Amino acid sequence: MRPMSVREMDALCHERGIGFDPAEPYEMAKVIAGHPAWEGHSAAQELHELRGAWRRERPRIPEWFSAEDLVWQPWEREAAAAA
């Protein structure tokens, strides 16, 4: 486990609704003691990682698909115009 940075401590205090002043060493010690098993992920970062995992699980465009399948060929245009 690595030590928390000031930004991480500020994010943790913000999530918990605690005011945080990095100039106060007592306050920093209180935050660290209140949460010794800090994993280094804020709620926003966990949500970002979860959404990235969801995006990776989403089905992709099939290999057999081609954008040319959506473009009409000349003989198809003529048949559509005649109809």
DSSP state at residue 6: H
* pLDDT tops 70 at residue 32: no
pTM over 0.85: no
* Amino acid making up residue 80: A
Distance of CA 68 to the CA centre of its chain: 33
How much is the average pLDDT of 48-66?
86
* pLDDT tops 60 at residue 37: no
Q: Give the distance between the most distant pair of CA atoms in the chain.
A: 83
How much is the average pLDDT of 75-79?
83
Mean of all residue pLDDT scores within the chain: 77
Q: Please give the share of the chain, as a percent, with pLDDT higher than 70.
A: 73
